[in-house]
């Protein structure tokens, strides 16, 4: 896992960066999208050429970090 300042750790072999992942999380927190899937869909429509991880990828990163916190 890459350390990213303690916010969230992204796996070493990850396709997406911390910034890509946090963009989805920040947009979800500040928009009217009511699910991670809706958030990703909106972002992909707004920025079709941007690197936007899927909702599953973002949730997996969060889940993996939660699991690391328990160890």
User: Is residue 1 included in any domain, yes or no?
Assistant: no
Q: So what's the pLDDT on residue 55?
A: 94
pLDDT 10s digit of each residue in the chain, 71 long? 554 556 688 888 888 988 999 999 999 999 888 888 999 999 999 999 999 999 999 998 888 876 555 54
User: Is residue 12 included in any domain, yes or no?
Assistant: no
Q: So what's the pLDDT on residue 30?
A: 92
User: Is residue 5 included in any domain, yes or no?
Assistant: no
Distance between CA atoms of residues 51 and 3, nearest Å: 20
How many distinct structural domains can be found in the chain? Answer: 1
Q: So what's the pLDDT on residue 9?
A: 81
CA distances from 40 to 19, 23, 31, 52 (A): 14, 10, 11, 7
Instruction: Judge contact between 16 and 57, C-beta under 8 A.
Output: yes
User: Is residue 7 included in any domain, yes or no?
Assistant: no
User: Is residue 61 included in any domain, yes or no?
Assistant: yes
Domain, as residue range, for 31:
18-70
User: Is residue 45 included in any domain, yes or no?
Assistant: yes
User: Is residue 34 included in any domain, yes or no?
Assistant: yes
């Amino acid at each position: 896992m890459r350390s990213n300042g303690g916010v969230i750790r992204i796996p070493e072999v990850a396709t997406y960066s911390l910034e890509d992942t946090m963009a989805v999380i920040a947009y979800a927190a500040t928009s009217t999208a009511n699910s991670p899937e809706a958030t990703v869909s909106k972002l992909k429509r707004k920025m079709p050429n941007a690197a936007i991880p899927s909702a599953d990828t973002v949730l997996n990163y969060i889940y993996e970090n939660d699991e690391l916190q328990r160890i």
